[in-house]
Amino acid sequence: MIFLKTSSIVSVFTIASAFLSHTAFAITTPENEGPKGYDYGVDIGALLKRDVSKMPTTGVRYNGSSASIPVRQEIRDLEKNGDLWQLYILAQSMMQTMDQSEMRSWYQIAGIHGRPYLPYDGVSPIPGNENNGYCTHVSILFPSWHRPYMALYEQVLHSLVSFIAGQYPAGAERDRYTAAANRFRIPYWDWAMAAPQGQSIIPASITTPTIAINGPAGVQTISNPLYSYHFNPLNATELPNPPFSRYPQTLRYPTSNNASATSQDDLVARQLDNSASTFRDRLYNLFTNYHDFSVFSNEASRPGNFDSIESLHDQIHGLTGSGGHMSYVDYASFDPIFFLHHAMVDRCFAMWQVLNPDSYVSPTAALYSTYTIKAGSIQDASTPLTPFYAPGGNNSFWSSTDVISTEVFGYAYAETLQGGNTTEKVIKAINLLYGSTAPAKTISRRGSPVFPARVVEREVEANSSYNLPVLATDGQYTEWIANIQVQKYALDKSFFVHVFLGPFNDDPASWSFEPNLVGTHCVFAKLSTDGSVAADPNQMVTGTIPLTSALLDKISKKKLESLDAEDVEPYLKENLKYRISLLDDTPIDNSAVPSLSVNVVSSKVQQITEDHQLPSWGPMISHLELSTAVASISAKIYDLAFGASIKLGAEVSATFGTPE
């Protein structure tokens, strides 16, 4: 059980939020099997037991000015704030060790997204939709639905943070922690910015099994609640899909399919780091070249548009999970890294909104069913974002119209905080964090450029005596991108498309780590499609792999002359290949996914001269297609007036990735 000092019991109802006064705690004792939680000293479970229903999603209430609203911090910044960090870890641990039947437990909040496919807060499914979660994917509601979801998680966690702060010894120490609790907001994990020198993209605080924490009863070493979530108990009826029906805790890149499997976070870190420039380039391109919310918001295939914040989000899911819980829509939210990841996605959404205030949710047919949405029904800005009740007690739900601003839930991000020129502030942050190594800023107009991050990462010396040719003319250079299109459920589960520029090892377990890997695209799906009725069972989804940084690497090594089409096209025909694998590294014959096409396009991009500017893109020109199918899909999705499209027939398709 969770324990608290007897002197603190009186303060429970005065310090804890309304959440705590309605919650039953049944929390694993440190000596029991499972995670080791913090030992507070006194059992208070019976004191706090109450029944509750129809809890509105409020986020963290804040009555101050917009300019001073608390901000969500990047996790590495939060870690530097000792008091906030202690409270965050303790609250995460407390939430994870609650009885799984409690509405505010980790199991119940995580279970909103996918499995166990049970009603949350009394919100029942549409008949026939019982085998789905509430989450909206391949949907124009993808960003707006996840905003109140993160707000509910933040609301619960903040209540626990406030409660725990009140358990520190009375006096200056308690006052200090209480003041910190008032400022607490959930952190995000920025997987796109350059990692600190000598560190991985994924912070060590997420990948270590235990953590020392200074709580109200002193320093104790507990199970790290950012490393994994331990099911308490594992219910194989509610989580029926092997191997997840066997795993007693969440795993990343699991060592096996057995119950004794462990996470391989070192491999997760390696493959994330190997794709680091892809994350940055994709996000920078989304901020600079995608201005229509219907395209930016989700990965549904639309003519001439291939990337989206959802598709980039999928890539992080796949590489973080690699066969573990983050790999599949129905299990991902149980992994603690899910909430750090989705707070980052919400931040990207908020920053994009500042740049594009006039584009938002428009009426669009739902492509997939959810627990409460029928495939084919029209989703718009007034569609209820279930199961998130709005305040007011009239049983109404939040809508996309209601959640346009993050401030309605009591938070902002440093970049979106009101005050001064917010748009200019966001642009400067985008250029600093994601554009400082992008080709749009680093390509030389006169040779001898500052090398992009990918070149530096691949050990090309910046002071090399070889000068690159002039790659930009009149401030313009050519950006190259591989557009990917494939059926969402081509394999009835999640899978990878690995894109290479040069030779690579035949072992599929090495593909995410190969030096010639340009990027790994993830098709993020449910593990079981039972009940996941699509309006179109052959629904296509899209994503991109930017090629320019990799091409610059080849230029620096004298393997390519320039970024001009007459040089790049023949080089790509000879060297660009793809391979397919499941997320557990099981290889899939390329011919087994005939719907997959990889189309190479280019655009002239105008470079920026000031940090408050963003580059401008010209029309896309189609160059060539890699596909196992003779019939080209690109004619359906490209306006070929932009340029000649080279169709590769079956006689040459083996060069571009079919099994050899």
Q: What is the pLDDT of residue 53?
A: 67
CA distance 273 to 268: 9
435: its two tokens? 């554009």
Q: What is the pLDDT of residue 115?
A: 97
Q: What is the pLDDT of residue 656?
A: 32
6-194+349-415 and 437-656: same fold? no
Handedness of CA 525, 434, 441, 284 (dihedral sign): positive
pLDDT reading at 532 higher than 70: no
pLDDT reading at 337 higher than 50: yes
Contact assessment for residue 434 and residue 287, using Cβ atoms and an 8 Å cutoff: yes
- Provide the pLDDT confidence category of residue 29 given band limits of 50, 70 and 90: very low
- 3-state class (DSSP) for residue 55: coil
Contacts of 146 (CB under 8 A, 6+ apart): 135, 342, 345, 346
β-bridge partners, 541: 300, 486
pLDDT in tens, 348-375: 999 999 999 999 999 999 999 999 999 9
Contacts of 180 (CB under 8 A, 6+ apart): 81, 83, 84, 87, 165
pLDDT reading at 648 higher than 90: no
- Provide the pLDDT confidence category of residue 28 given band limits of 50, 70 and 90: very low
pTM here? Answer: 0.88
- Once rounded to an integer, what is the mean pLDDT over residues 193-222? 96
pLDDT reading at 660 higher than 80: no
97: left (phi over 0), alpha (psi -120 to 50) or beta: alpha
- Once rounded to an integer, what is the mean pLDDT over residues 241-250? 97
Q: What is the pLDDT of residue 326?
A: 99
pLDDT reading at 160 higher than 90: yes
Query: Taking CA 584 as the corner, what is the angle to CA 375 and CA 546, rounded to the nearest 5 degrees?
Result: 70
- Provide the pLDDT confidence category of residue 418 given band limits of 50, 70 and 90: confident
Contacts of 196 (CB under 8 A, 6+ apart): 76
The amino acid that residue 450 corresponds to is V
pLDDT in tens, 397-407: 999 999 999 99
Q: Of residues 392 and 654, which shows the higher confidence score? A: 392
Q: What is the pLDDT of residue 170?
A: 97
**Is beta strand 576-582 parallel, antiparallel or unpaired with respect to 495-501?**
antiparallel
Q: What is the pLDDT of residue 515?
A: 97
- Provide the pLDDT confidence category of residue 52 given band limits of 50, 70 and 90: low
The verdict on whether omega for the bond into residue 116 sits within 30 degrees of 0, i.e. cis, is yes
CA distance 495 to 489: 9
Enumerate the H helices of 111-264 as residue ranges.
142-165, 172-183, 204-207
**Per CATH, which fold does 6-194+349-415 belong to?**
di-copper center containing domain from catechol oxidase (1.10.1280)
Contact assessment for residue 398 and residue 148, using Cβ atoms and an 8 Å cutoff: yes
Q: What is the pLDDT of residue 461?
A: 35
pLDDT reading at 503 higher than 90: yes
- Provide the pLDDT confidence category of residue 23 given band limits of 50, 70 and 90: very low
449: its two tokens? 């450029």
- Once rounded to an integer, what is the mean pLDDT over residues 26-37? 54
Contacts of 281 (CB under 8 A, 6+ apart): 438, 439, 546, 548, 549
Q: Tell me the CA distances in angstroms from 484 to 326, 327, 627, one per residue in order.
A: 22, 19, 10
460: its two tokens? 């090309």
Q: What is the pLDDT of residue 277?
A: 95
CA distance 290 to 278: 17
pLDDT reading at 2 higher than 50: no
CA distance 546 to 444: 19
Q: Tell me the CA distances in angstroms from 14 to 8, 18, 421, 620, one per residue in order.
A: 11, 9, 40, 60
* Residue entry with tokens 């359906």: 636
305: its two tokens? 């548009």
Contact assessment for residue 431 and residue 453, using Cβ atoms and an 8 Å cutoff: no
Q: What is the pLDDT of residue 44?
A: 43
Question: Which pairs from 204-207 meet CB under 8 Å and 24+ separation?
Answer: 205/75, 205/76, 205/79, 206/75, 206/265, 206/336, 206/337, 206/340, 207/265, 207/266, 207/268, 207/269
Q: Of residues 384 and 466, which shows the higher confidence score? A: 384
pLDDT in tens, 115-147: 999 999 999 999 999 999 999 999 999 999 999
Contacts of 33 (CB under 8 A, 6+ apart): none
* Residue among 325, 387, 346 at smallest CA distance from 108: 387
- Provide the pLDDT confidence category of residue 459 given band limits of 50, 70 and 90: very low
Angle between helices 422-430 and 276-289 (to 10 degrees): 150
Q: What is the pLDDT of residue 557?
A: 94
The residues spanned by each domain of the chain are 6-194+349-415, 437-656
pLDDT in tens, 84-114: 999 999 999 999 999 999 999 999 999 999 9
Q: What is the pLDDT of residue 528?
A: 72
Ranking 1-15, 408-422, 568-582, 636-650 by mean pLDDT, the lowest is 636-650
pLDDT reading at 518 higher than 90: yes
Q: What is the pLDDT of residue 653?
A: 30
pLDDT reading at 221 higher than 70: yes
Q: Of residues 25 and 279, which shows the higher confidence score? A: 279
pLDDT in tens, 295-332: 999 999 888 889 999 999 999 999 999 999 999 999 99
Number of helices (H) and strands (E), helices first, in the chain? Answer: 20, 15
* Residue among 597, 658, 604 at smallest CA distance from 632: 597
Contact assessment for residue 25 and residue 98, using Cβ atoms and an 8 Å cutoff: yes
CATH class of 437-656: mainly beta
306: its two tokens? 């291939």
The verdict on whether omega for the bond into residue 387 sits within 30 degrees of 0, i.e. cis, is yes
Q: What is the pLDDT of residue 529?
A: 61
- Once rounded to an integer, what is the mean pLDDT over residues 572-583? 97
pLDDT reading at 446 higher than 90: no
The mean of the pLDDT values for the chain is 86
DSSP symbols for 423-459: HHHHHHHHIIIIITTSHHHH--SSS-PPPPHHHHHTT
Q: Of residues 512 and 634, which shows the higher confidence score? A: 512
β-bridge partners, 588: 580
Q: What is the pLDDT of residue 474?
A: 79
Contact assessment for residue 184 and residue 22, using Cβ atoms and an 8 Å cutoff: no
CA distance 601 to 578: 16
User: What is the 8-class DSSP label of residue 602?
Assistant: E
